[in-house]
A = this chain, B = another copy of it.
Amino acid sequence: MDRRKMLGLAGAGALGAAAGGAVGVQIFDGPPPARANDPGAAEPFYGTRQAGIITPAQDRLHFVAFDVITDKKAEVVELLQKWTAAAARMTEGKDAGTIGAVGGQPEAAPDDTGEALGLPPSGLTLTVGFGPTFFRTAEGKDRFGIADKRPEALADLPKFAKDTLQPGISGGDICVQACAHDPQVAVHAVRNLARIGFGVVSVRWSQLGFGRTSSTSRTQATARNLFGFKDGTANLKAEDTALLDEQLWVRAGDGPEWMTGGSYMVTRKIRMLIETWDRTSLGEQEAIIGRNKGEGAALGSAKEFDEPVFDGETIAMDAHVRLAHQKFNDGARLLRRGYNFVDGSDGLGRLDAGLFFIAYMRDPRKQFVPIQTRLSRQDALNEYIRHVSSGLFACPPGVSGVDDSWGRGLFV
């Protein structure tokens, strides 16, 4: 019962996306093939890793953080099972439920909301994570008897210099990162998960994004952030298998067994003061970033992927590219997967725009925390940015098959 087949459509939309068709249980493990020429195709849902981490970054994002509003463990476990089944269906391009948007009895509410009818799978990935408050509430309560399963690596992030975080759009018990090549498909997925979770979870905050500022595969060109610079040149890539084992994936012995094969996610909503930036000279912009704007090469180098030369001060001591580089951070690296955002305007005559930063890593205490500690104190870019939201989530390994479900390792 593929969404398109059910309706007898060949795929709607001006993109004329090639049909992905209904797919069976595909197993995802390791760098996937480039699907750049088929934005309608499906990404495999089941596998040893969760999709949506090293999957070549799709064009659009809808990120949602939920608060769990029940204290009953059984309700949470049941919801995670329902969500997993719905996620598997939606990533294949099917309705969220078996009845669908237009099936069943007219006196019943549909088990799919319908706005993705006729749209292909569009590379949808749904990646789940659990925040610190899922294990123990901010008030210290162990609601679900899993406080002892909280990994040490999921330590609350420290307050960084210049943080201006808004609690209402930070944190959350459970997050889902929905990425797709069509925003309507990503929105449909999040909206149906929220619908299924009614009474058990409540949407705490959600964020849309576009422009995949950090490419996660060498098959992708580096996209640009709203400062107009290429972003993600030095990102970890899906093809860096050995580096990913060292920097991205949680290994056996790193912490609780249920996280082995998973990864930790940090989100930061970074408001850019783009009106100020736009009145800054090209030379100063390039000095602040440490790269030139056209090619994206490090200052003093010729090409985007040339290794930056940090001797001397061609790249300033407070340039972003220097402070963020692994050479000055004990080799620590991140797999970034951020998106540009514009949330309208701010009531003060300015666009409310910036970067929704997402990064995956093996241990935030050794990677994001020291890097951001340094950046928050010294980065010349700080004059033009404000961190307004923050999230930290433990993303378990993939769902192995139809008998497995999100967070199952946590509750056995």
Q: Which residues of A contact B (CB under 8 A)?
A: 6-7, 9, 12-16, 35-37, 39, 56-60, 62, 64, 67, 101-102, 104-110, 112-118, 168-169, 181, 183-184, 187, 190-191, 194-195, 198, 202-208, 210-212, 220-229, 274-275, 278-283, 285-286, 292-295, 340, 342-345, 347, 349-351, 353
In the bound complex, CA of A107 to CA of B226 (Å): 20
Other contacts beyond A106-B281, A206-B342: 16, CB < 8 A: A13-B223, A14-B56, A15-B59, A102-B282, A107-B283, A108-B282, A109-B279, A109-B280, A109-B281, A112-B228, A113-B278, A168-B347, A183-B210, A184-B211, A191-B274, A194-B275
Contacts of A37 in B (CB 8 A): 16
With the chains together, A194 CA to B282 CA distance in Å?
Answer: 18
Closest to A277 in B: B113
Pull 11 A–B residue pairs with CB atoms less than 8 Å apart, ordered by A.
A14-B56, A15-B181, A105-B282, A108-B282, A113-B278, A114-B228, A115-B227, A118-B221, A187-B340, A206-B351, A208-B343
Instruction: Please tell me if the beta carbons of B274 and A344 are within 8 angstroms of each other in the complex.
Output: no
Query: In this complex, which of A13, A67, A205 has the most chain B Cβ atoms within 10 angstroms of its Cβ?
Result: A13
Q: Which 6 A-B pairs have the closest CB atoms?
A: A114-B228, A106-B283, A202-B349, A102-B294, A12-B221, A183-B210
Q: Quick check: A351 and B221 within 8 Å, CB to CB?
A: no
Report chain B residues within 8 Å CB of A221: 9, 12-13, 118
Q: Using Cβ atoms and an 8 Å threshold, which residues of chain B touch A282?
A: 102, 104-110
- Given A228-B101, A282-B104, A344-B208, verify A223-B12 contact (CB < 8 Å): yes
* Minimum CB–CB distance for A268 against chain B, Å: 16
A275 CA / B208 CA spacing, docked (Å): 18
In the complex, the answer to whether B16 meets A191 with C-beta atoms within 8 Å is no
> CA A345 – CA B389 in complex, angstroms?
14
Copy number in this complex? Answer: 2
Determine whether the beta carbon of A342 is less than 8 Å from that of B113: no
Which chain B residues lie closer than 8 Å to A340 at the CB level? 115, 184, 187
**Which residues from chain B contact A223 at a C-beta distance below 8 Å?**
12-13, 184
B contact residues around A342 at 8 Å (CB)? 62, 187, 206, 208
For the complex, what is the distance from the CA of A221 to the CA of B60, rounded to whole Å?
Answer: 22
Q: Which of A110, A229, A286 has the most CB of B within 10 A?
A: A110
- Chain B residues within an 8 Å CB radius of A353: 187, 191
Q: Which of A118, A274, A351, A353 has the most CB of B within 10 A?
A: A351
Task: Determine the residue in chain B with the shortest Cβ distance to A221.
Answer: B12
CB–CB B195/A210 < 8 A? no
> A14 contacts which of B7, B9, B39 (Cβ < 8 Å)?
B39
Whether the pair A278, B208 counts as a contact (CB closer than 8 A) is no
Q: Across the interface, do B292 and A220 meet the contact criterion of CB distance under 8 Å? A: no
Residues of B within 8 A of A57 (CB): 14
Q: Find chain B residues with CB under 8 A from A110 CB.
A: 228, 282, 285, 293
Are the CB atoms of A281 and B107 closer together than 8 Å? yes
Partner of A294, one of B7, B207, B280, B293: B7
